[in-house]
Amino acid sequence: AQKVTQAQTEISVVEKEDVTLDCVYETRDTTYYLFWYKQPPSGELVFLIRRNSFDEQNEISGRYSWNFQKSTSSFNFTITASQVVDSAVYFCALSEAGGRRALTFGSGTRLQVQP
Amino acid sequence: GAVVSQHPSWVICKSGTSVKIECRSLDFQATTMFWYRQFPKQSLMLMATSNEGSKATYEQGVEKDKFLINHASLTLSTLTVTSAHPEDSSFYICSARGERGTGGIQYFGAGTRLSVL
């Protein structure tokens, strides 16, 4: 069975601070995908990144960066120089590489960026 | 990213009535669509998976007769909440995945907030 744990329920930072959202996963599959989605107050989930289990290279996209460490089953997400618009709930998710590839979501981390 | 349209965004209905929610992939063909339910301040719970032209696969504990899913075409899936009751009030979100043009990534609709009186 797959499981995704986001231990941080809520995080509050002041604008321009860096913040890291933690994600730890469990799976018996050797091939799988990891995702991060952002859910702003409007409700729509916005896709941020997908990472293949075979690709452990860290990725940077603007102010966003992701650190994938297979040894610790973690896929952490860092926002550099946070902005008020980053306020949202962030979900980490895991899917099998084959079959239905349904997403297993973590419980989400609510990020509040104060001006 | 790919665009998924979900309608209506908000619906209020009386207990006992049925409500239909539409999920459309606007710029890609969705071989698979998913329906999720989300309670306030909680994560998304997968309800069912649908593939075009075949019966939906429901998750354990989800009533097939209560939540009817139809995936009639490669761009449209519908969820009908039949004989809705107040406990069905929730936020329902669909997602769509296509093999071409989306890299197999699930893209989500904006969600439908259902309130049953």
Q: Do the chains contact at A44 and B105, CB–CB below 8 Å?
A: no
- Summarised one tens digit per residue, pLDDT across range A3-51 is 999 999 999 999 999 999 999 999 999 899 999 999 999 889 999 999 9
Q: Which residues pair with A59 in a beta bridge?
A: A66
> Do A43 and B1 count as a contact with CB atoms less than 8 A apart?
no
Q: Cβ of B107 under 8 Å from any chain A Cβ?
A: yes
The per-residue pLDDT for B102 is 60
- B26 has a chain A CB within 8 A of its CB: no
The token duo for B100 is 């071409």
The pLDDT of residue B34 is above 70 = yes
Q: What is the pLDDT of residues A57-81, one digit of tens each?
A: 888 999 999 999 999 999 999 999 9
Which pLDDT value is given to residue B1? 66
Comparing CA positions, the residue from B112, B51, B56 lying closest to residue B84 is B112
Residue A29 to residue A1: CA distance in whole angstroms: 9
Q: What per-residue confidence (pLDDT) applies to B52?
A: 81
The whole-angstrom separation of Cα B87 and Cα B117 is 10
Residue B100 pLDDT greater than 70, yes or no: no
Q: Nearest-CA neighbor of A19 among A81, A106, A67?
A: A81
Whether A2 has a pLDDT exceeding 70, the answer reads yes
CA distance A61 to B53: 38
Q: Do A45 and B95 touch (CB under 8 A)?
A: yes
pLDDT of B75 above 80 = yes
Mean pLDDT (chain B) is: 91
Q: Which residue from B43, B91, B107 is facing A43, i.e. has the nearest CB?
A: B91
CA dist A95 and A29 (Å) reads 10
Beta bridge partners of A103: A95
CB–CB of A50 and B105 under 8 A? yes
Span B67-92, mean pLDDT?
94
Residue A5 has what pLDDT? 97
B101 pLDDT above the threshold of 60: no
Spatial distance between the Cα atoms of A84 and A74, rounded to a whole number of angstroms: 26
Residue B56 three-state SS = coil
Chain A CB contacts of B113 under 8 Å are 43
Which of B34, B41, B113 comes nearest A102 by C-beta? B34
Q: β-strands A88-96, A103-105: how paired?
A: antiparallel
Compute the distance between CA of residue A48 and CA of residue A91 in angstroms, rounded to an integer. 10
How many Cβ atoms from other residues are within 10 Å of residue B90's Cβ? 21
- Cis check for the bond before A40: say yes or no (omega within 30 of 0): no
pLDDT at A106 over 90: yes
Please check the confidence at residue B30 and state whether its pLDDT lies above 90. no
Rounded to whole angstroms, what are the CA distances from B110 to A56, A100, B5? 31, 22, 7
Residues of A in contact with B103 (CB under 8 A): 50
Nearest CB neighbour to A100, from listed B49, B91, B107: B49
Q: A–B: how many Cβ contacts below 8 A?
A: 49
Comparing alpha-carbon positions, the chain A residue that sits nearest to B108 is A45
All residues of chain B having their beta carbon less than 8 Å from the beta carbon of residue A107 are: 42-43
- Angle at CA of residue B40, ends A88 and A111, nearest 5°: 20
- In this prediction, residue A103 carries a pLDDT of 92
Query: Which residue matches tokens 């990891």?
Result: A34
User: What are the counts of helices (DSSP H) followed by strands (DSSP E) for chain B?
Assistant: 0, 11
